[in-house]
Structure 1
Amino acid sequence: MVSGHAVGGLLGWAVEREVDDADMQPARFTVDLPRPTALAPIEVQTRVLRDGKRLKLVEASLEQQGVEVARASALFLRRCEQPPGEVWTEPVDMPPVPPDDEIANASLFVRTYGWGVPVQRPDPDWAATGTKYTWLNLEQPVVDGDPLTPFTRAAMAGDITASLANWGSAGLQYINADYTITLARLPEGAVLGMASHSHLSHDGVATGTATLVDLQGAVGSCVAVAVAHSGFNPPPA
């Protein structure tokens, strides 16, 4: 099975190729994961739903043997002058960025704090309660010969939201059904971080939220919907 972050990255790569205007900011990206994606040939299809002066709406889908396994919708908004005034928001305080040697040796998870399994490189000194964090190193391209863009990195990171927000005292008891990222700006660099903010669940249905950051600060928000799946463990990085 292909990991959800790779599926999201491929869908992000597909929708971004439909936008050739540098002033269009990817502002919202939603991924639906109705079926597992197998390690098999994938057909990618895209469609532009709206192409206006201030926004562009693009859809993409992944099919295997004629069956849709994943779908995405992306909203691009035209950048413009920033309005005056200050708007309150809760600050995000991330753990320190791991040293360069840890980043260089990480295939995905550089370090996790307050959650995770050994393949996710958890910090043993971080209590497994309260806010959970992770630093990610996103360098592996989803299409050979096509380096990751800032947007595809964000698209890949968004899939981690469900694991980050829904991890509890009994491990991860939920499996990702979809996720959405919203971006105020594009992230910079290959190292991205996430901080969980909430988990709500009832009758086996869960929703969780997180903030996405780069080394300069917060760039957007993430939300994921999940369904109970006892004994589920994320695939190794």
Structure 2
Amino acid sequence: MANEPFFRKEGDLFLPTRAGIGPWTADSLHGRLIIGLLGAEIERQYRTPEYMPARLTVDMYRLPDLSPVEVVTRVVKDGYRIKVVDAEFISGGQSAGRATCQLLRRTGNALGKVWAPDNWDAPKPADMPPPEQRPMGGMWDMRRIAGDFGVPGHPRRVWMAEVRDLVEGEPFTPFARVATAADFVSPFANSGDQGLGYINSDVTIYLHREPVTDWVGFDVTGHGATDGVAIGECRLYDEQGVIGAASCTALAQKRKVS
């Protein structure tokens, strides 16, 4: 891949590159890298084909800098139908985030018909023109379907695709692709006509299946804020339909990037 990866591996450590700098300070990593790396390491160490990573919750409580990163994992529950794994993102010896992943054993669907929302009628990414510039200096690729940051109203819908490795030389799995992209639920749902004024402190992803294509679709379904505490919600898609949902909590925050 020609684009610089977000991390390079050195022994058991992950070395961040400047490709992953986020929007809040000039030397801190984007939250998507905390979520993506924790999800990817849980999957790499504990997943088997019989199990679906159905829920990933990541708490983010410190902006990590470019220090080497260690991911420490722990099995909480190793059952036949349900497995629960915790993981911690340690940057420069300090904890910056933690994750809990619930893996559920695949079986068959329950009998009967259950209501589900209609699929959106969005055009395919290949049928849409690329943007003149990729967001965040080329951190990902995007196709805007409806709405935009700072534009009041609904719907807000977008396609997103990765353009660089999370870890150098390790191709994205479908689950890691969703985990890395899911941080976008906060800026997409919580941005307003004065820009993005909320920094998310967590992300939760719910999946009933993984994407079968490289593009992940976001459809904003909710936003609310009181006393500087916000929530945001999006339904998630691939090019075949709904795959799940993502939600976040966030705090009012001023940018410090010069």
Aligned to 1:72: 99
Aligned to 1:120: none
Check whether the contact 1:139–1:148 (CA below 8 A) recurs between aligned residues. no
- Correspondence for 2:142 among 105, 110, 135: 110
Q: CA deviation at 1:21?
A: 2.0
SS in 1 for 2:211: coil
Residue type matched to 1:64 in 2?
Answer: S
The 5 Å alignment of 1:84-233 reads 84-93=111-120, 95-99=122-126, 102=130, 107=138, 108-112=140-144, 113-116=146-149, 128-230=152-254
| Cα distance between partner residues in 1 of 2:93 and 2:103 | 28
Check whether the contact 2:190–2:196 (CA below 8 A) recurs between aligned residues. yes
| Cα distance between partner residues in 1 of 2:147 and 2:254 | 20
Q: Higher mean Cα deviation, 161-170 or 144-153? A: 161-170
Q: CA deviation at 1:111?
A: 2.4
Q: Deviations over 1:141-165 (max 9, x none)?
A: 2111111100001101211111111
- After superposition, the Cα gap between the structure-2 partners of 1:41 and 1:90, relative to the gap in structure 1 and judged at 3 Å, is same
Q: Deviations over 1:118-173 (max 9, x none)?
A: xxxxxxxxx64212112111242211111110000110121111111111222211
Q: Give me the identity figure in percent.
A: 36
Q: Deviations over 1:3-44 (max 9, x none)?
A: 111221111111102224211000000111100021221111
Residue type matched to 2:148 in 1?
Answer: W
* Aligned residue-pair number: 223
Check whether the contact 1:187–1:213 (CA below 8 A) recurs between aligned residues. yes
| Cα distance between partner residues in 2 of 1:28 and 1:4 | 18
The two structures, once aligned, show a CA RMSD in angstroms of 2.1
| Cα distance between partner residues in 2 of 1:39 and 1:230 | 21
Residue type matched to 1:102 in 2?
Answer: P
TM-score, with normalisation over the residues of structure 2? 0.80
